[in-house]
Structure 1
Amino acid sequence: MSPIKLGILQLPSDYELAYEDVSFENIYDGVELKGWWIPSSRYDYLYHKAVIFSHSYGDNRERMPIETLKLAKRLSSQGYHVFMYDFRASGESGGRFTTIGRKEKTDLLSAIHYVKEDKGIHEIALIGWSMGAATSIIVGSESDDVKAVIADSPFADLESYTSEAFAYWTGLPNSVGKYMIRVADNIFIDMNLSEVKPYIAAQRYENKGLMLIHSTKDGAISYKQSELIFSHAPSAELWITKKGGHIRNYKHQKEIYEDRIIEFLNKYIEQDYMFQPL
């Protein structure tokens, strides 16, 4: 299954950001992935920390209900390099099917590999929205290279969520959805919805940061999904907002959102930098 690919309309240069077009392979199955490397705009120091963005289902690195590039600009100004990429079957990346987290996990692991091996960055954080948020939680629990994860509007368990939310997305009864999901699992072997369980992954966050953000007005994924994840995490922060809808928290409170996530990141990412003579 795969949504219609959306084109990219804006570039980092539209936000006065330097950037590099990046093409890299999924190190597990060879799918070609595309992205942008946006270096820190702090030229007084050489920073060794990066944040990797993971977009929502049906969107791409730039096309979301929020200004991802505006957020990238603020992080860049704080000394963070930013890596934005398209999941498989999205944006400019290759691949025919979206698997709502299972294969996307390997896309994100490959993005981490690129940032570590090609850019030499070892202080890595993840931020994701919806599907990207759920994927970031799972990957962050498995990768020793990830120090902190910010998950905006994630689902807690893909199998149960798709059954419960089928009517929301299609207008058809949930009973039909349960049948369709069984069919999809049988036809599309790579789906395996039962493997995508962020609330289980959250149990492994003893020594790294996890911040959950969700709106009470989210009609696509209930904020109770984030509460469930939070209840299983030994150490996490939960920010429940009262503005916006699904993945629109940043849209309605940009400065507060930026300040809170930067404060969170700075607690877990070492401020490793070297003075750069001008």
Structure 2
Amino acid sequence: MKNSRRIKKNTLINNVKKGFRTFYGGMETPFKQSSLRVWIQARKFNKTRQDRKWLKELLTTNKVVRRFYKRPELEIQDIENVTPVDFKSRDNLNLKGLIYEPNKGSNKWVIASHWFAGHKTWSLHHAKVFVEMGYNVMVYDFRGHGQSQNDSTTMGGKEHKDLMGAVDWLKENKKIDQLAFMGTSMGAFVSNYCSILYKEELKALNFKFVVSDVTYGSVFSLFLHVRNVYLGFLPKKRTKKFINKVIAKQNKKEVSINLHEVSIFHLLREGGNKDLFPTLFCHSSDDKVTSPTDTYELIIKRNNQDDDYLMFNFSMHTQGIRYHFKTFNYKLAEFINRFEKDDVLFDKVIKEWELLKFEKKDQLSLMLK
């Protein structure tokens, strides 16, 4: 399928995304795999020429989690179980995804969504514990990211149509006995947003829960936190006016959406907090990109006795799984195990990943908790 293009809008978010993509790309550069290595692996796993782009991404991020994260447990080694998919967002954009299906007898699925300026294979690694708990995984590139069709980024304002496009593809092509969402940063916002906005539709698919890692509650609160962390020179009494001006500029260029309404808080005010899907919220109290206060506020406003949370004292944004690998994955496995109890798989991942055994490289994690 040809990756057709839309006209790029010159917006603040798109310009920031360009900078972050350059930064993230630079971080991955030392780990990038050669064309020869990709060709060899493509032959080994019987992949086509068209598969080489996503395969190069996956081989690169495999090396990152092995060398930089120092967590080989998160590698995807059975690449024969990974297949590419093309699908449409609900507003008809061409999106690219991957299906990772190592549990052939299972119809339990998680759709994992990546962070702002990231790409789909990172979601695959961060959701790896789901595989150990008997799930198969679908990941995808948001619009304007990775291999998906180019379009402006709206921090969830349009991206919820991408996630629901993935739901549509999965519903049409796979049997679903149980469904969950996992998201990181922008992916967490979109996962939370969809779980409320499309609540009735998801119930029909036996949707169970959300794992929300370093979310934000609204575009306004996201901008406010960034201002407080990085733009402290702005007078506080002018902060709201400044952010409203930035959002107004963005709204003029997007036309079809109002970023003031891109808010989980808004959905909760409009629809109430009844019959919400259980959600595990993860965050760090010193996150420099998204506000941990948003996570606390969402927990309070949701008032759902089935929600749970994991809060660290320190972690770089999106890196809780790296800094606190064992605590993070134990909590995820424990939460997942609530919804279709399988103590055999739970005990297996605890043993094989040694999640209760803290060695030298885990001591920093204990100190930072």
TM over 0.5: yes
TM class by smaller structure = 0.7 to 0.9
Matched, 1:70 2:131: no
CA–CA distance in 1 between the matches of 2:189 and 2:278? Answer: 15
Aligned sequence identity (%): 24
Residues 1:257 and 2:325 aligned together: no
The question of whether the paired residues in 2 share the 8 Å contact of 1:51 and 1:82 is answered with yes
Q: Distance in 1 between matches of 2:58 and 2:282?
A: 26
> Are 1:57 and 1:130, in contact at CA under 8 Å, matched by a contact in 2?
yes
Partner of 1:55: 114
Alpha carbons of 1:38 and 1:87: their partners in 2 closer, same or farther (altered >3 Å)?
same
Cα distance in 2 for partners of 1:60, 1:170 equals 28
Which runs of 5 or more structure 1 residues have no equivalent in the other structure?
272-278
Partner of 1:243: 314
Shift in CA distance, 179/200, structure 1 to aligned 2, threshold 3 Å: closer
Q: Write the distance in 1 (CA, Å) between the matches of 2:233 and 2:226.
A: 10
Tell me which amino acid in the other structure corresponds to 2:210: V
Higher RCO by CA contacts (8 Å cutoff, separation 6 or greater): 1
Cα deviation 1:151-180 (Å, max 9, x = unaligned): 111111222432442465678844544322
Cα 1:77–1:253 shift into 2, 3 Å: same
Give the direction of change, closer, same or farther, for the CA distance of 1:233–1:75 in structure 2 (3 Å limit). same
Please tell me the residue identity of whatever aligns with 1:61: K
Matching of residue 233 in structure 1 with residue 302 in structure 2: yes
Larger radius of gyration: 2
Of 48-57 and 162-171, deviating more is: 162-171
The residue aligned with 1:19 is 82
1:154-193 to 2 correspondence within 5 Å? 154-166=215-227, 168=229, 173=234, 174=239, 176-193=242-259
> 1:206–1:234: 8 Å Cα contact kept in structure 2?
no
Higher helix share: 2
- Greater shift in the superposed pair: 3-12 or 134-143: 3-12
Q: Provide the C-alpha distance between the structure 2 equivalents of 1:101 and 1:205, rounded to a whole number of angstroms.
A: 23
Q: Which amino acid aligns with 2:287?
A: D
Once residues 127 and 261 of structure 1 are traced to their aligned partners in structure 2, the CA distance between those partners, rounded to angstroms, is: 10
CA distance in 2, matches of 1:90, 1:150: 22
Match of 1:130 in 2: 185
- In structure 1, give the amino acid aligned to 2:82: Y
- The Cα shift of 1:234 comes to 2.8
Is 2:139 aligned against 1:80?
Answer: no
Pick closer, same or farther for the CA change 1:167–1:58 going to 2, 3 Å: farther
TM-score by length of 2: 0.65
Deviates more, 1:81-90 or 1:140-149: 140-149
The number of aligned residues is 263
Length-normalised TM-score, structure 1: 0.84
1:253, 1:126 → 2: CA distance? 21
